[in-house]
Structure 1
């Protein structure tokens, strides 16, 4: 460094080091963001099912949760009226879920779409049986509650 500031060489070396660090950090950040978004959507879906289960029980109303698209959930009441619609960034493989007026559910599992399955995810499916809803991990073709 001279008395007037940094030399051109010092500046170029600093920019090069910064570029190398960014080239390592950006792909890792993108992987982390994708993983975080998938887990966030799965947990959001889990909480929606829990919320409408409680609502069905307390209001003595049946609900049907319909995946109109792999990433859109529509909730209908027992008259077939649309109560709410939720959009997700993640795609899910799921059938319709029926909640009766006692808050019991149809036995099923909801999986992240195969495009989104990642072994590093803590959870990648939701196990639904008559009285319980749990986050789980896909094991072959089944979802095992964790």
Structure 2
């Protein structure tokens, strides 16, 4: 029994190898996961904009008011004249394809057509724009020249 060494647990080398493998795996999967998270967050902002436009249509129709939708430095707002009635905060940049604001008539329709476009630099496979027609609001995918509704 004097020549036998009893081994309980792991050696320092084995632990270092496991840590190295975990670090390599984390380095490989970090970028795709962070892009998915960013795409999800941009999609969330787009859904907030879509909801604000739909709410504006409903308020304009039920209260028989003309409203205006426009962007602020930190988000977007619905205005009754110059008074903001509801604002949302956006974490990513969006822009109107035409003009600086969109008017919603007292019948709940839009006075002009256009698009709201994600204006950041990340290419996304998800929805990244909103198509606004006189009577509809649809989320879509920007193809470089127009927003194609989904």
Quickly name the TM-score band, shorter chain normalised: 0.7 to 0.9
Distance in 2 separating the partners of 1:17 and 1:120: 31
1:57 aligns with 2:61: yes
Q: Secondary structure at the match of 1:126?
A: strand
Equivalent residue for 1:18, pick from 22, 27, 34: 22
Equivalent residue for 2:87, pick from 85, 89, 104: 85
Q: Secondary structure at the match of 1:101?
A: coil
1:100 aligns with 2:105: yes
Distance in 1 separating the partners of 2:11 and 2:146: 63
Distance in 2 separating the partners of 1:119 and 1:73: 22
Distance in 1 separating the partners of 2:15 and 2:120: 47
TM-score, normalization by structure 2:
0.86
| 1:42, distance to aligned residue in structure 2 (A) | 0.8
1:74 aligns with 2:80: no
Distance in 1 separating the partners of 2:143 and 2:34: 26
1:112 aligns with 2:121: no
Distance in 2 separating the partners of 1:54 and 1:84: 13
Aligned pairs, how many? 141
| 1:119, distance to aligned residue in structure 2 (A) | 4.6
Distance in 1 separating the partners of 2:49 and 2:55: 10
TM-score, normalization by structure 1:
0.88
| 1:114, distance to aligned residue in structure 2 (A) | 4.6
Q: Secondary structure at the match of 2:121?
A: helix
Q: Secondary structure at the match of 2:72?
A: strand
Distance in 1 separating the partners of 2:120 and 2:31: 22
Distance in 1 separating the partners of 2:32 and 2:147: 28
Q: Which runs of 5+ in 2 are unaligned?
A: 1-5
Q: C-alpha root-mean-square deviation of aligned residues, in Å? A: 1.6
